[in-house]
Amino acid sequence: MTMKSIAKILLLALLLSPIGSLKAQSLLKDSVMGVWLISAHYSYQLPLGDMADRFGGNSSLGGMLGFKNGKNWLYGVEGSYLFSNNVKDLGQFENISLGGNVLIRTDGRVETVFLAQRGFTVTGFLGKMIPFKKPNVNSGLVLKLGVGMLWHKIRIIGDREYLPQITKGNEKGYDRLANGLLLAPFIGYQYMSLSRVLNFYAGIEFNLGLTKGRRAWNYDQNAPGDARRTDMLVGFKGGWIITKYVAHTEKYYYY
């Protein structure tokens, strides 16, 4: 193949590429299309109910794998990791500390242990997107309901090599582990750009956890740690979406 032939092929490709791009943009603007959705999200959440007695506000990072079909129904799975250093003083170590969570180490020195919130959510969701005419019929109001599990506990941070009070299983008597059923409704807006590059969603999510303590005994309370709880979190949630559109096939009818 000569250089002249190669140049002609490249020129033809450059001329045709805008046409293909314009055709794809027209399809996205005027046709409700099936699309795979992969996203990473962040949420800042405020606790309500029993959760508010134990923790303050927390951050949540996670991901989602979902699908929007040709009728704008949404379904998929998502998970989030919950974390913060905003733990309210529950006085777990009052009976074994020198005050202020200061513990005596096995080497004779003293150390202050710190408390942090850790947890996660896992849900399967079903939802509906109500499209707007602008910027395209694949963007609009999103209503979703997730059903799954909420898990949370207090993480005890200290030098475990020298603190047997919080190691060798003893931390289970202080960490307040709880988990249970989670219901997670979401309302927000989803934007799908014609260029397929700028895709995102944002909205308000409410988490209702019907949980139960999972420790047989809380040492500091000298009582079982299996109480039933109503844990709630409400927060603003936003995510960046990577899309993979299902091939759009045109139908022809012959008479």
246 band by pLDDT with thresholds 50, 70 and 90: confident
The CATH number of the domain covering residues in 33-245? 2.40.160.20
86 band by pLDDT with thresholds 50, 70 and 90: very high
> Is residue 172 over pLDDT 50?
yes
> Is residue 138 over pLDDT 90?
no
Domain ranges (residues) in the chain: 1-30, 33-245
Q: What is the structure's pLDDT at 28?
A: 56
Q: What is the structure's pLDDT at 117?
A: 97
Question: How does pLDDT run across 45-78, given as a tens digit for each residue?
Answer: 999 999 999 999 999 999 999 999 989 999 999 9
Q: What is the structure's pLDDT at 204?
A: 98
Per the confidence metrics, is the pTM higher than 0.85?
no
Question: How does pLDDT run across 88-135, given as a tens digit for each residue?
Answer: 977 888 888 888 899 999 999 999 999 999 999 999 999 999 998 777
- How confident is the model over 200-225, as a mean pLDDT? 96
> Is residue 236 over pLDDT 60?
yes
Q: What is the structure's pLDDT at 7?
A: 54
Q: Decide: 43 and 83 in contact? Cβ < 8 Å.
A: no
Question: How does pLDDT run across 11-37, given as a tens digit for each residue?
Answer: 444 444 343 333 445 455 557 889 999
Q: What is the structure's pLDDT at 2?
A: 60
Question: How does pLDDT run across 174-203, given as a tens digit for each residue?
Answer: 999 999 999 999 999 999 887 767 899 999
- How confident is the model over 133-151, as a mean pLDDT? 92
